[in-house]
Amino acid sequence: MMTISAIGAPAEQASGTNQDNSDISGSKVGGKGSKKVKADFRIDKIKGHEDGWEDPHDAALAFYKQNEDAYQSTDKDSELIGFLIKADNGNYYFTNAVEVPATFEMSAAIRKPSGWITMDTLHTHPGGRGNQEGFSKTDAQAVLSGSTPGYYVRTPIGDVRFINKSIAKRTRTRWGAKGKSICPGGSPCMTSYGSSN
C-alpha cells in the first residue's frame, strides 16, 4: 500500500477534532489492477472564507480553483481527490487534495472538527484519456449506492459537474452519468487541461 501526502500547506486544526474513514475506488483503466492507497485529509481554511461557503457548489468551485496548479501538473494516469465538509454552522468547507493514480482503492482518513459532517466527494478526471467529461460508472455507482451523497468532477475541458442520486438516475449513460454543470454562466469555467503547462 502506498501512502499519499497532502498537496498544499498544512491547515489549521480546530480544537476537538474527529475522524471519518472512507473507502473509495477509482475506475478500472485498461484492465489495470488498482493500486492500494492510504491518504489523510484535513480542512483547508482559505483566507477571506474563514466562515466557509453557504452554497456547497461555491465551496466545490473554490476547491478546484485552490488546486488548479496541482491539477495542471498531473499526468493522464492521475487524479486529485478531496471532500466537501458541512460545518456545524451549516456552511461548507473543503479538505486538502491528494493526488492518486487513476486506478486506485483508497482508504481515507478525514480529520475535521467534532460535529462537522463529511458530505460529498471532490475529484478530477485526467486529461488525455478518452471521454472524461462526465462521471464514470464507478463514480455514479458510489452515489447510487449511497456511499457518498454527492460527487463533483473537474473535467479536462474545464467544466465542473455534480451528481447526486436523482441526477445520476436522470443522466445515466453507457459509461456512467453526465451529471450537471455547476459553472456559473455555463461551461467551461476553469482552464482546459494542459493549456497552462
60 is written with which cell numbers?
466545490
Structural contact between residues 28 and 101, judged by C-beta atoms closer than 8 angstroms = no
**Over the stretch 87-127, which tens digit does the pLDDT of each residue have?**
999 999 999 999 988 776 777 888 999 999 999 999 998 87
191 is written with which cell numbers?
482552464
What is the per-residue pLDDT for 63?
A: 97
Task: Examine residue 189 and state whether it is found in any structural domain, yes or no.
Answer: no
163 is written with which cell numbers?
451528481
User: Going by DSSP bridges, is the β-strand pair 150-154/160-164 parallel, antiparallel, or unpaired?
Assistant: antiparallel
Task: Examine residue 187 and state whether it is found in any structural domain, yes or no.
Answer: no
Task: Examine residue 194 and state whether it is found in any structural domain, yes or no.
Answer: no
Q: What is the pTM of this model?
A: 0.83
d(CA 5, CA 33): 22
Task: Examine residue 52 and state whether it is found in any structural domain, yes or no.
Answer: yes
Domain count along the chain: 1
Average pLDDT, the chain: 81
Task: Examine residue 191 and state whether it is found in any structural domain, yes or no.
Answer: no
Which structural domain range is residue 119 located in? 2-181
Task: Examine residue 48 and state whether it is found in any structural domain, yes or no.
Answer: yes
**Over the stretch 23-71, which tens digit does the pLDDT of each residue have?**
555 555 445 556 777 778 999 888 899 999 999 999 999 999 999 999 9
45 is written with which cell numbers?
481554511
Burial 86-103 (b: 16+ CB within 10 A, else e): bbeeebbbbbbbbbbbbb
Task: Examine residue 196 and state whether it is found in any structural domain, yes or no.
Answer: no
Which 3 state secondary structure label does DSSP give 155?
coil
CB-based burial label for 105 (10 Å; 0-12, 13-18, 19+): middle
d(CA 166, CA 143): 9
Task: Examine residue 174 and state whether it is found in any structural domain, yes or no.
Answer: yes
